[in-house]
Structure 1
Amino acid sequence: MELILNNPVYQGLTSGDQHLSLGSENVKYFDEAVSPFVAFDEVYEKGFEELYDLLPPGRTILYAIPQPIAPPKGWQLLHEIKGVQMVFEEGREILPGTFAPVPLEKQYAAAMVELAKLTKPGPFGLRTIEFGHYYGIFDQDKLVAMTGQRLHPQQYTEVSAVCTHPDHLGKGYASVLVQHQVQLILQQGQVPFLHVREDNSRAIALYERLGFRISRNMNFYFMRRM
């Protein structure tokens, strides 16, 4: 069943994230304020051509695929990230947290964007919160750590936006928040998974301690329509 995660964006846009999906029958994407992700079935050879016709000049997209690709015609490659995909191992114990994560509603969207800009966990806009189930930890009135859910491809749910303010590292916030998300996802009858840069050895080690295993490589291509 993990073949679903070979193309998680497309699978999400055609299943659990369908309510946020834009595009055509063959090509899907999110509003850029939600996420720059775009996708199409791997066997559809005209995906980028159709995206070019659907999206305005200057629109930035993010395309995820296990195998490397060359920049398609009409698209400027801005940045390439080599990452890995990790899936939670069934049966792993969820340890009790020492902090109580706070649900993050729309009134916190600006603070969430500010924290994401500082820590750079990945693209995060004012509407990213619409993926749902975001929780954070506050120091007095300041949001200092958060995580949430992003893609929902069929029976899988992605843990995303795992970030901690640099002044609050080493306090165990990320561990508590990720385990909290894992518990929520398992309670929903879903399987947790996530993506991380392949050179982020510290994060990979944390996720392995929390019960995730590396499933496959995943290449992320940030591009702009010319």
Structure 2
Amino acid sequence: MHNYAPLDNPVWHALQTTHKAFAQGTDRVQRYPADTLQFVGCADPLHADLNEILPWTAVGEKMLMIGELPALPSNWALVRQLDCIQMVCDEKTPLASPDVVPLENVEEMLTLINLVQPGFFYKHTPLLGAYYGIYQEGQLVAIAGERTKISGLIEVSAVCTHPAFTGRGYAQQLVAHIVNKQVTAGNALYLHFLTNNDRARKVYERLGFRDRRAIVFWEIVRNM
């Protein structure tokens, strides 16, 4: 039986467990490296002082917090609030994934993701976990991979398809591949999507994902 409680504060728990080697910051506020993931997590989010992370940030840098947001010091500002649904899955799916291949070309990944989901993928993001894709006539047209990782829990992320190739089930194949691989290894999966993304919800529900909770991504910026 998996313990999903850490998913209420996933960034912090990832940086304390599987992704501890990526952690930058203090014993109360930590982040991923800027060229890997713009995420910050806090041991006690509602009472955290984000200025503890100043030595590891730059003026003008935008970052994301998931879950609770602390009171922002005067030199930080809220940019936007992204209302999301968090889903989990702990069973394999019978859906096939015949065209999925591991990805190694970071530039290809960056080009596709920045076309579809700009601002959430960086040069060293692929170091966080395995990424997979589908090619058509030599062109990478769909991608999905593993982002934050907590002991026994793997986040599915970067699920995107080139606009010219949507509607062909590629996202479903990719996520199915990750689910089956990780469940076989004894892990459970989690993911996030915007509350108004009904198309994504239908794909994930077909694969056996179920709602865990509503959760907010807070985009904040250090302005001085």
The answer to whether TM tops 0.5 is yes
Please give the residue correspondences for 1:7-156 in structure 2 after superposition, counting only pairs within 5 Å. Answer: 7-42=9-44, 45-65=47-67, 67=68, 71-88=72-89, 90-91=90-91, 93-97=93-97, 99-105=98-104, 108-120=105-117, 123-156=120-153
Decide whether aligned partners of structure 1 residues 78 and 191 sit closer, same or farther in structure 2, where only a CA change above 3 A counts: same
Please give the secondary structure, in 2, of the residue aligned with 1:214: strand
User: For the Cα contact (< 8 Å) 1:57–1:225, is it kept in 2?
Assistant: yes
Give, in whole Å, the separation in 1 of the partners of 2:14 and 2:149.
5
For the 8 Å contact 2:146–2:155, the answer to whether it is kept is: yes
Q: 1:207 to 1:110 in 2, by over 3 A?
A: same
Q: What SS does structure 1 have at the residue aligned with 2:52?
A: helix
Distance, in Å, in 2 between the alignment partners of 1:114 and 1:184 is 26
Cα distance in 2 for partners of 1:25, 1:69 equals 16
Matches of 1:38 and 1:46 in 2, distance apart? 11
1:73 Cα deviation from its structure 2 partner? 2.9
Return the alpha-carbon distance in structure 1 between the equivalents of residues 110 and 131 of structure 2: 12
Measured at CA, do residues 50 and 111 of structure 1 come closer, stay the same or move farther in structure 2, by a change above 3 Å? same
Cα 1:217–1:60 shift into 2, 3 Å = same
Aligned match of 2:176 in 176, 179, 195?
179
Give the one of 185, 190, 194 matched to 1:197. 194
How big is the shift at 1:205?
Answer: 1.4
Q: Secondary structure at the match of 1:152?
A: strand
Out of 169, 181, 185, the residue aligned to residue 188 of structure 1 is: 185
The number of residue pairs the alignment matches comes to: 221
Alpha carbons of structure 1 residues 43 and 109: separation in structure 2 relative to 1, 3 Å: closer
Q: Does 1:209 align with 2:206?
A: yes
1:93 maps to a residue whose letter is T
1:181/1:92 Cα in 2 relative to 1: closer, same or farther (>3 Å)? closer
Task: Normalising by structure 1, report the TM-score.
Answer: 0.91
Name the TM-score, length of structure 2 as normaliser. Answer: 0.92
Provide the aligned C-alpha RMSD in A. Answer: 1.8
Match for 2:116: what amino acid? T
